[in-house]
A and B are shown apart, each in its own frame.
Chain A
Amino acid sequence: MKRILGALIALLGFATSVCSQADVPILSGALAFNTSTTAGATSFTPTLAPVLVAPVGDHWLFEGRAQLQGFFFQQNGTSGPYTGQFFATLDYAQVDYIANPHLTVTVGRFLTPFNIYNERFSAIWIANLQDSPIIFTIGTRTSSASNGGMLRGVLVERPNWLLNYTAYFSAASTTENLQAGRAAGGRIGVFMPNAGIEVGASYQRFLQNGDFNVAGTYFAWQPPQIPLDVRAEYAHSPGGQGYWLEGAMHIAKSRGTSTWLSRLQTVARVQQYFKGTPTPQDELPAADVNQFDFGLNYYLPHDVRLNGSYGRQYSSLGNANIWNVQIAYRFLFPAWPGEHK
């Protein structure tokens, strides 16, 4: 934990020293408290996830996110006194060189860009349901992060569609809090902003534990006329394959949170997972799993969100009910005080 805090403070200090007043770094992220009950076993998870973003000029950017998290559970599963511990992880700490919209070069520790859930929907203040999809570890295994280099950008830009890409390489690391797998891969996607549709595919060659291929596809649809979000992913690895499909809708005619009812969001997700040949440390279920989740999110003023969800998991290893309740406060402010000029 000291290392993580030290790295963030050092990054902030460095950013502070090199940034001009116009390049004000921001501190963002979330403070959350989550309670989860899975098959009768209850756990509590307080989390602080600070994000530091520090631009330097028009082309350089430092970004970092850490998770300071506690995990408390009953010693005997569903009975006995509670025990637990706090731990810290560094999700990413990267330096970006934004050459132009077609090319950004990233070095450091970054979220593995396999499909889109890990990079875009996994943050605790963004995820509609607090449990990650079952197939989440396919393509993002070991830590969800990669240590190495990445190229990304918009390959082709047309009025009605964009073709974007990502290519990366990661070195293996077993250093505490900085774990990563040795892998290389890429993602290509088409985004149609007028229709609110996005489709893409990912590929990864995992270069340890006996090399193997991992592939996936994703789809997202956000119709402009109604406050609906549809997202889906499919992923395949030797260890297993599966998909998830999620729909989330605000109780309103249009997007926005201007009325108390429009602040309410309903969420539903279905998942299926099919077991393959287990590979070391793939963190995938040991049996086929079917699961559905239903959730209600309420967006309170001042960027506070309440989440509640119920899920039912069907597996040959045992069926289970999964309950989650969370309150999250999302913050965003300049890293130091000052006036706008």
Chain B
Amino acid sequence: MKTWFTILFGTLLLTCSLAMLAQPQDQPPAVKTPASTVHKKSKTNDGEQRFQANCGRCHNPPEAISPREVKAVLQHMRVRAMLSAEDEKLILKYLAP
């Protein structure tokens, strides 16, 4: 049983450590686009609505998407969520203004 506690504790520790470490490294404020912040700023934004309608219908958005990640994320969503041409344009503008 001791082994299982070690595995459980180790996984929890690793999970929490990764969560704590990932943020400061991946999220320099000047570079990242915190989705939640943008949400507050522009409630009527078309891109935000499209993002919520297309991406948010399956999952919560990640806390932040950096401009360097936007292209890959959007391409992935184009295939997965079958975005229309207009959706893609508006969401791109929303994520990487």
Contacts and interface: CB of A to CB of B under 8 A. Distances in A.
Contacts of A162: 82, 84
22 contacts: A22-B71, A23-B71, A23-B72, A24-B72, A33-B12, A44-B7, A44-B8, A82-B4, A101-B83, A101-B84, A101-B88, A119-B80, A152-B82, A154-B83, A162-B82, A256-B36, A256-B39, A303-B19, A303-B63, A330-B62, A332-B65, A340-B31
Nearest to A305: B60
A224 B56 CA distance: 11
A45 to B, nearest CB: 10
A320 interface: no
A152 B79 contact: yes
Nearest to A299: B60
B11 A24 contact: no
Contacts of A299: 60
Nearest to A123: B59
A126 B72 contact: no
A304 interface: yes
A301 interface: yes
A157 B84 contact: yes
A314 to B, nearest CB: 30
A283 interface: no
Given A26-B72, A338-B68, A333 B26 contact: yes
A77 interface: no
A125 to B, nearest CB: 7
Contacts of A255: 52, 56
A121 interface: yes
Contacts of B18: 31, 329, 331
Contacts of A101: 78, 82-85, 88
The size class of the interface chain B forms with chain A is 35 or more
Interface in B5-21: 7-8, 11-12, 14-16, 18-20
Interface of B: 1, 3-4, 7-8, 11-12, 14-16, 18-20, 22-23, 25-26, 31, 36, 39-40, 50, 52-54, 56-60, 62-63, 65-69, 71-73, 75-76, 78-80, 82-86, 88
A258 B35 CA distance: 12
B71 A24 contact: yes
A64 to B, nearest CB: 11
B79 A331 contact: no
Given A255-B52, A331-B18, A338-B68, A53 B86 contact: no
Contacts of A61: 75-76, 79
B15 A53 contact: no
Given A121-B58, A257-B60, A332-B69, A327 B15 contact: yes
Interface in A284-341: 299-304, 327-334, 338, 340
A41 B84 CA distance: 47
A327 B71 CA distance: 29
Given A23-B71, A101-B84, A33 B63 contact: no
A302 B56 contact: no
Given A157-B85, A162-B84, A302-B23, A104 B71 contact: no
